[in-house]
Amino acid sequence: MFGNIKCSIDSIKQLIKTKNRHCMKFYKLLLVFLLVSSVIKAQDFQGKAIYQSKFRFDMRLDSTQVSPAQQQQIMEMMRKQLEKNFELFFDKNTSIYKEEARLEQEAGGFGGMMVMIGGAMNGRHFKDVKNKSFTKESELMGKNFLIKDSLKVYNWKLVNETKSIGNYLCFKAIATVKNPAMSLNFGRGGGRNNQNQTENNTQTQAAPQDMIVEAWYSPEVPVNNGPGEYWGLPGLIMEVNADRISLQLVSLDLNPKDRIQIKELDKGKVVSQKEYDDIVKAKTEEMRQNFEGGQRGNNTHGIQIRM
pLDDT in tens, 155-199: 999 999 999 999 999 999 999 998 765 555 555 444 444 444 444
Give CA separation, 263 vs 47, 96, 101, 220, in Å: 15, 8, 19, 25
Comparing CA positions, the residue from 170, 155, 150 lying closest to residue 237 is: 170
This prediction's pTM: 0.69
Q: Where are the domains of the chain?
A: 2-39, 46-306
CB contact at 8 A, 138 and 120: yes
CA distance 48 to 31: 32
Cα–Cα dist 194/184, whole Å: 17
* Sign of torsion over alpha carbons 230, 234, 240, 243: negative
- Residue 161, CB-side half-sphere exposure with 13 Å CA sphere: 8
User: Tens digit of pLDDT for each residue in 52-92?
Assistant: 998 776 555 555 666 777 767 776 776 666 678 999 999 99
Whether the per-residue pLDDT at 216 is higher than 50: the answer is: yes
Residue 155 and residue 305: Cα distance in Å, rounded?
Answer: 30
